[in-house]
Amino acid sequence: MRICLVIEGSYPYIKGGVASWVNTVIRAFPEHDFVLYTICAEDKMLGVYKYDIPENVVEIVENSLECIKFEESSNGLRYNIGKEKDESLTNFFLGEEFDWFDLFELMKEKKLGNPTDFLMSQNFFDYAKKIYDKEFATTPFTDFIWTIRSMYLILFYILTQPVPEADIYHSVATGYAGVIAAYGKYLCGGKTIITEHGIYTREREGEIIKAKWVKGYWKELWIKFFYSLSNCSYKHADAVTALFNMNRTLQLELGCPEEKILTIPNGVELERFADVGVRENNPDEVNIGAIVRVVEIKDIKTMIHAFALVKKEVPYAKLYIMGPIDEDPDYYKECIQNVEMLGVKDVIFTGGVDVVEYLKIMDFLLLTSISEGQPLAVMEGLAAKKAFVTTNVGDCHDLLFGFEDNFGQAGYIEYVMDHVAIAQSAIKLCNDYELRTQMGINGYNRIEAMYQKKDFLKQYDDLYNKLYAEKGGK
């Protein structure tokens, strides 16, 4: 079976959750050939891989966003694409009901020239003018034209690039990658899977809202654009997978048909943590651990503030922050300043260490992130039978409290940035050995039943085989 993985801004260029997931999947199925269709941000990243490429990767098609630029163009051409296709494209640009295959057909037959020529064409001007008249009639017109051109540039560029042949197009996000997967399906007749770790549309939306490079009135334009990319992804996918239940709900809200969605959580290898076990009760000693990189999104400062409150009640508590400190040195410096300012003792930044060894001396764990997907740190901590205090982000709630299961509570969930509440829960766990032991065991049971690596790989294996059979492969 030949599987084309479509990956945007991740494996093999950048280490992280999605990338290690991709790495796991490729290595888990040595019997399949994988083709990687990758999109990275800069030219200098091309060919520079952070992972060893497994042998079953037979081809890598690389694209860099940096090389997608406007080129020397002709003076506004007029493409003759027929009335039907013209109406279809009008609907596409106006964000109305539209068949992506109409666009794919035009691109396949190269009816729209090269991307720059098309974006500079009279046809595109007409479409842009319609969008403008409909929703942006009071905004600066020249800016509008260029904004909308640069917005569509990447999309039209990738649609002029050949998509490698494959039986299954597996995209690890919606967005451009999702469109490529759909286009591959159109061109080569494969099947399409979309796996979302975060919700791409929501993430882009968040970025656009915060972005300074997009002027206020264009933000909506961009957000709608990303919605339309997701629409394409969901519509043409044969299966859509979500990591956890909350994401599934979001996908449904974004218009993904319910029958397509499968929830396949990530998994951990229980064996790795078999030696860790429950720690004995030492009166006068409580070690609180945090498996996090020291970066802003993990909100280490809230953790430090919470620990300062813990320290007042439980003077012998210690906080171990286990994770690299060199990713954002400025933020790390600010954290150190925070520690000094609060005068709180026993905050230990270990840097990157062997987590398994350190887990052996931890009593329970903390996670104060502002945003998470399905945090591996929590799953690993639970696999090591440690109770947790986490913020209510991503899948944390379901990991600690379960979703329609009876394993019981594995820790406490508090609001993001609420250091007082986080401290109160942590104090409870500090003072109650029985409670934190029971919660750790509850978590372990849940992981054992539902979040094992072998289970999640099995589900993908089944999915691949099912779709391959549907496609008519043997």
Contact stretch for another protein (CB under 8 A) within 83-91, 133-141, 267-275, 345-353: 133-141
Closest distance of CB 123 from another protein, Å? 10
Binding residues with another protein: total (CB under 8 A): 28
Smaller CB separation from another protein, 49 or 70: 70
Smaller CB separation from another protein, 207 or 327: 207
| Amino acid occupying residue 341 | M
What distance in Å separates the CA atoms of residue 335 and residue 318, rounded to the nearest whole number? 16
Who's near 328: CB < 8 A, 6+ residues apart?
294, 295, 296
Instruction: Report the SS3 class of residue 388.
Output: strand
CB 108 within 8 A of CB 144: no
Closest CA to 263 of 272, 274, 250, 273: 250
Q: Does 73 bind another protein (CB under 8 A)?
A: yes
Closest distance of CB 131 from another protein, Å? 12
Site string for another protein, 102-131 (x = CB under 8 A): --------------x---xxx-xx---x--
The pairing of beta strand 191-196 with beta strand 239-242: parallel
Other beta carbons within 10 Å of 52: 9
CB 268 within 8 A of CB 383: yes
Closest CA to 257 of 279, 236, 278: 236
Q: Which residue in 31, 52, 75, 472 binds another protein (CB under 8 A)?
A: 75
Contact stretch for another protein (CB under 8 A) within 145-153, 190-198, 306-314, 417-425: 145-153
The CA distances from residue 140 to 29, 133, 136, 225, 266, in Å, are: 53, 12, 9, 19, 47
Beta strands in 191-276 (DSSP E): 191-196, 239-242, 261-263
Q: Does 84 bind another protein (CB under 8 A)?
A: no
Smaller CB separation from another protein, 118 or 176: 118
Smaller CB separation from another protein, 80 or 138: 138
Instruction: Report the SS3 class of residue 421.
Output: helix
DSSP one-letter code for 284: T
Q: Which residue in 142, 162, 280, 406 binds another protein (CB under 8 A)?
A: 142
What distance in Å separates the CA atoms of residue 428 and residue 423, rounded to the nearest whole number? 9
Q: Does 132 bind another protein (CB under 8 A)?
A: yes
Q: Does 338 bind another protein (CB under 8 A)?
A: no
Contact stretch for another protein (CB under 8 A) within 83-91, 142-150, 359-367, 451-459: 142-150
Smaller CB separation from another protein, 80 or 142: 142
Closest distance of CB 127 from another protein, Å? 12
Q: Which residue in 139, 160, 424, 438 binds another protein (CB under 8 A)?
A: 139
Interface positions with another protein (CB under 8 A): 70-76, 116, 120-122, 124-125, 129, 132-133, 137-143, 145-147, 149-150
